[in-house]
Amino acid sequence: MNYEVFISYKCSDDQGNKTPDVAIAQELYTALTDRGYSTFFSSNTLELMGSSRYKADIDAALDSAKVMIVVLSKEEYASSHWVQYEWDSFYNDYLSGIRKEANLFTFTANVDIHKLPRTLRNVQNFDYRDGVSRICDCVQNAIPRQDEFKPSVNPPDNADKPISIIAGKQVTLEDIAQAVCLDALVYEDIYHVDTTQCEEWFAVNPDIYVMAKDNKSDKIIAYVNISPVTDECYNRIKRGDFIDTGITADMILSYDMPFPYSVYFSSIVIHPDYQNTEVFMELFNAIVDKFIALGEHEVFIRRMIADAVTKNGEKFCRLFGMTKLDGSNHESSLYEVTMIPPEFRVLSKKSRQLYDYYRRKYDEAPYLFDE
């Protein structure tokens, strides 16, 4: 049988007693199968099944699974013989090119993820205290059911608009959780930021996110994160030795004062099913709208830096007319542009409006924007 999801967990402790992981894995298994996913979940111990049969079963399941979830109630369980064999085999297939993507997640209860093996502490983690819905939603993003997550762009003329743009306080914590799940489909593991960290940024400044939602599926299918950051953070990014996972909430600024801000364009993520559609330009124009709206409150973007790690990131930087800097030490491309006085490229009526607006503001009081 082919499995879509593989649940890895430790069955028994050193005394032969069932671990809490068994009950957690059972709950997760039930939730996933209720959503229609074929899920590998062994409720028997290695001793009952026999070593050779057990290995044959898990090897077959590992070959077919598109998603692996490692359930952990203790840090040391990640290094137990069979659990480590499972997640290590799954991830090594990705590194060796056998599988094209590694949708590997952890589902933990009272675990310090920083004490996990390097591979696991760099993947997206979900906390059991938040329930199983979030991680199931993430699986649904990774393996969408054809009847519920089919792109609905280019609808008939009489249909409602298929895509909605939400931003600022329109964004909910659930939207952020879905956006984090999109990261796992697009970014390499080292760039994965966990949901808690994103929520902490959002609490400081809700205006960092612009998201696109498919109205038919009611799912977040793309998002952009452009955050105002401290000069120290900006300069560290520019040196090329700093990535998103190192950004803490105290490095994010709020737009509570009239001020020329330095912003970090950290993410543009579009679900694979929606790439090469109008979603990209919808996001681009929404960002321009956001900058114009901020300007109405005397909040201006003085400069913007980007660390492009995907093709869409590179595309955005080039379209905006950003200048390519030296590469980073993590094999990405750094770009920068001066926003005011405007040096960005005009691509649409909206970006022309922003260009003219920023030019006028600069000409009125250039001293406000000098470094």
Query: 118 and 206 share a domain?
Result: no
| HSE-up (13 A, CA, CB side) for residue 323 | 9
Kind of pairing between the strands at 323-324 and 333-338? antiparallel
201-244-174 Cα angle (round to 5): 45
Same domain assignment for residues 53 and 20:
yes
Q: What pLDDT shows up at residue 371? A: 61
Which amino acid, residue 155?
P
Token digits of residue 127: 């906390």
Same domain, 18 and 63: yes
Closest CA to 144 of 41, 40, 37: 37
Q: What is the CATH number of the domain that holds 352?
A: 3.40.630.30
Question: Within this chain, do residues 171 and 237 fall inside the same structural domain, yes or no?
Answer: yes
| Sign of the CA dihedral with 277 first, then 279, 135, and 125 last | positive
Rounded CA separation 217/221 (Å) = 9
DSSP sequence for 172-222: -HHHHHHHHHHHHHHS-GGG---HHHHHHHHHH-GGGEEEEEETTTTEEEE
The encoded tokens of residue 321 equal: 């007319």
Same domain, 187 and 98: no
| Rounded CA separation 126/117 (Å) | 16
Residue 69 lies in a domain: yes
Backbone angles phi, psi at 264, to 5 degrees: -115, 115
186 lies in the same domain as 296: yes
Query: Is 360 in the same domain as 254?
Result: yes
Whether residue 120 lies inside any domain: the answer is yes
Look at residue 30 and give its three-state secondary structure: helix
Domain of 225?
163-369
Residues 206 and 99 reside in one and the same domain: no
Q: Please identify every stretch of the chain with a pLDDT value under 50, giving residue numbers as ranges.
A: 44-51, 147, 149-153, 155-159
Contact 210, 223 (CB under 8 A): yes
Q: Among 73, 107, 142, identify where a domain stops.
A: 142
Q: Is residue 115 part of a domain?
A: yes
Q: Choose the final residue of a domain: 109, 142, 175.
A: 142
Which CA distances in Å does 258 have to 8, 109, 236, 261, 329?
A: 51, 43, 24, 9, 35
Number of domains observed in the structure of the chain: 2
Establish if 147 belongs to a structural domain. no
In this structure, are 178 and 280 located in the same domain? yes
SS3 at position 288: helix
Decide if 155 is inside a domain. Answer: no
Q: Is residue 158 part of a domain?
A: no
Query: What is the C-alpha to C-alpha distance for residues 181 and 201, in angstroms, rounded to an integer?
Result: 17
pLDDT given at position 43: 66
Within 10 angstroms of residue 229's Cβ, the number of other Cβ atoms is 23
DSSP 151: -
Residues 74 and 90: their CA atoms lie apart, in Å, by 21
CA–CA distance, 256 with 141 (Å, rounded to integer): 35
For residue 52, the model assigns a pLDDT of 55
> Token pair 């402790």 is at which residue?
13
Q: Do residues 298 and 169 both lie within one domain?
A: yes
Backbone angles phi, psi at 177, to 5 degrees: -60, -40
- Asked if residue 287 belongs to a domain, the reply is yes
Ordered alpha helix ranges (H), 2-158: 20-34, 46-49, 51-64, 81-95, 118-121, 133-142
User: Does residue 171 sit in the same domain as residue 133?
Assistant: no
| pTM exceeds 0.95 for this model | no
Which amino acid is it at 34? D
Residues for the chain: how many in total? Answer: 371
Q: What is the CATH number of the domain that holds 78?
A: 3.40.50.10140
The CA R_g of the chain, rounded to the nearest whole Å, is 23
Asked whether residue 75 is domain-assigned, the answer is yes
Number of H helices, E strands in the chain: 12, 12
Looking at the structure, tell me whether residues 223 and 347 fall in a common domain.
Answer: yes
